[in-house]
Structure formats: C-alpha cells, structure tokens
Amino acid sequence: MTRPCDPRPTPQLVTATHIEFRRGHARPDEPRGLFAVRHDSPVPASLDELLALLDLEEIEVNLFRGRQPRTRLQRVFGGQVASQALMAASRTTADDRFPHSLHAYFLRSGDTAVPIVYDVERTRDGSSFSTRRVVARQHGQSIFYLSASFQIAETGFDHQDSAPDAPGPDACPTLGEVLQRISGRPIEAWDEEWAALDVRYAGDSRPGGAIARDGRAARARVWVRASGAIPDQPALHECVLAYASDLTVLAASLVPHGTFIGDPRLRTASIDHAMWFHRPFRADAWLLYDQVSPSASGARGFSTGGLFTEAGVLVASVAQEGLIRRVDRSG
C-alpha cells in the first residue's frame, strides 16, 4: 500500500556518508586513517563517470589501478573504494561466479590526487566458490582491505523477510530537495553532486517520524537507483550497489539522538562495511534501502540494512559500524 512520504525529512538519514582521508590528524586513541564522514565530499558527476571509475586499468597480473574523480579536495567517498576493490576482485574470477559477500576495513589515510592500486590475492578457487582478498594501496601503504567470496549459480532452499510497507519512490522527495531544505544550499548543487544516483527519502523513526519503531531503536529508509541505464554486465550492477550501499547506513545510528552526520559537534567515520548479495538485481531499478540501528555505544554506531526491489524481493543485506564521537569544541 502506497503512503505519502514524511513531509519533515531530517538530516540524520539523508546526509550522505562520505569519507575524508585525513593525513596525520588521528588522536592517540583513534585508529589511524579512519575516514571522516562529510556531506561535501566529491563524488562522480554522472553515472557515466562512475562507470568509468569502475573501468580499472590492469597494470600486471592481479594488479589494477583505479582513477579518482576530478577534484581539488582531499576527500574520498568510501563507496568508491569498496566498489573499485570489488571490481578488481571480480576481474580475477570466472564469468560464471558472482559475489555473494564482501567484508571491508578502512585502514589508513589516502590521497585523492593519485590513483589507488588494488592488489588481488587469489586465495582459493574451488568447484563452487572462489575467494579473493584485495589490498588497496597508495604511496606504498595499505589503506583498505576487502575480502570477497564468489559462487556459481545454484538452486536450493529459499526464504526471505517481507519488504516493509513504504511509500513508492515517485511519492518521495529527492535527496536534493531534502538537503536543500536542511542546508539552504541550492538544489542544483546537490543534484550535481549526486548525479550518479537517484535517491529518494522515505522517512525515519524519530519522534513524529513516518516510520514506526516496532521495537527497534532506530529505523530509516531511502529508495535508491543509478541515475541512468547500466549495461547488462552483472559485475557493474554489483559494484554500483556496493557504491550506493555506503550512502546513508551509518546515519541511521543517529536517528534517536537529535543529531546528524556533518554536525560540527561530532566526529564520524566509517570503520568497517559488510555486504551480502542474495538474489539477482539491477542497480538501475529502484531498491528500497531499509536501515536499522540496533545499537550505539562506546562512541560507535552499528547499523544494518536490507535492499528490496519494488516487487518486495530482498536482493542484498548490509552491515556497518562507524565512529560517532561527540567533540567538545568549547575550548
């Protein structure tokens, strides 16, 4: 049943999760190279540019180079690194094997002024599964780890959770409309920044919000799809979804706390990211991203998400933990 979208969107959900490679600014008790979440980081200016970023250069066997978006800033979107690493792993597997899971850690500062080199270890090739480990490097240092498992297509037992009741994407405001309302920044600026993706806000569970908590501490939802047609290459759809999966999931952990990613009173960062691909999908078709945050503690927020087609098919699941530390700026 289609419902109207919540007319009062909040920044907890819609401010996108970006990561900033910091150089030498980590506190002694903070892991080096955590990615500071920002709302103004550069991202591909179009879907064509995003697809071009996924067209990795093979510079040696199992060694790939990924270029950066055009920018003068020292900031990188975490989904870009994850999607390029997944593409590097996919390039070393047989065509009949598809990723069913990935697990990633953001390790160390990087530099958007130079390409990222992805070194793929062919850990195992079995009769049904293949495993790959990818190390992303810049300036001779590891900045990111990803492990991914691939499987041939098989049939077997099948069940899934039901998709939540949500307004359709056409009934929901665009991300640009919501962010303009929050920030005062013109919608054209946001639309240009997010041109590679079409994202619609479908509500959250803050007091008075559109989504019932139903015993959950925090819930948030968006619709997401690529902003144009993607070629019929499964690896591209998987990598674009990996890219999109990092947009809003950490922000769900802030829904109960009256704050948002980008609040100057917070230091926020992606620490790790995991994803499971359950069923075939197209990343250029609408997917409902249903996000839940079961816990926040120790200055960390933990969120999970399920991605459903408009027909209610669960195609992927996501889990992420990130830093959500209060910062005392009074002194």
Residue 157 maps to a domain:
no
Q: Is 246 a catalytic residue?
A: yes
Q: In whole angstroms, what is the distance from residue 4 CA to residue 170 CA?
A: 10
Q: In whole angstroms, what is the distance from residue 73 CA to residue 62 CA?
A: 30
pLDDT computed for residue 289 by the predictor: 98
Q: In whole angstroms, what is the distance from residue 215 CA to residue 196 CA?
A: 35
Q: In whole angstroms, what is the distance from residue 141 CA to residue 154 CA?
A: 39
At residue 268 the predicted structure's pLDDT band, cuts being 50, 70 and 90, is: confident
Q: Is 270 a catalytic residue?
A: yes
pLDDT at 171 over 70: yes
What's the domain count of the chain? 1
pLDDT at 182 over 90: no
- Residues 6 or more apart in contact with residue 46 via CB below 8 angstroms: 195, 196, 227
Residue 62 maps to a domain:
yes
For range 293-321, the mean pLDDT: 98
Residue 23 maps to a domain:
yes
For range 230-248, the mean pLDDT: 95
pLDDT at 28 over 90: no
> pTM of the predicted model, to two decimals?
0.85
Residue 268 maps to a domain:
yes
Residue 148 maps to a domain:
yes
pLDDT computed for residue 140 by the predictor: 94
Residue 25 maps to a domain:
yes
Q: Is 320 a catalytic residue?
A: yes
Q: Which residue has the higher pLDDT, 280 or 112?
A: 280
Q: Which of 270, 293, 303, 317 is catalytic?
A: 270
- Chain centroid to CA 315: how far? 15
pLDDT computed for residue 18 by the predictor: 38
Q: Which segments within the chain are labelled E, that is strand?
A: 20-21, 35-36, 57-60, 63-66, 97-106, 116-125, 129-138, 141-152, 197-204, 219-226, 266-277, 287-297, 300-309, 314-326
Q: Which of 6, 198, 204, 246 is catalytic?
A: 246
Structure tokens given for 193: 């920044």
pLDDT computed for residue 247 by the predictor: 86
pLDDT at 17 over 70: no
Q: What is the CATH classification number for the domain harbouring 210?
A: 2.40.160.210
For range 4-31, the mean pLDDT: 38
Residue 280 maps to a domain:
yes
Give the phi and the psi of residue 157 in degrees, each rounded to 5. -60, 150
At residue 259 the predicted structure's pLDDT band, cuts being 50, 70 and 90, is: confident
pLDDT computed for residue 241 by the predictor: 98
pLDDT digits (tens, 9 = 90+) for 106-138: 998 667 789 999 999 999 999 999 999 999 999
Residue 113 maps to a domain:
yes
pLDDT at 319 over 80: yes
Domain that holds residue 279: 11-152+164-326
pLDDT digits (tens, 9 = 90+) for 190-222: 676 678 899 999 998 988 788 888 888 999 999
Q: Which residue has the higher pLDDT, 102 or 206?
A: 102
Q: Which residue has the higher pLDDT, 182 or 320?
A: 320
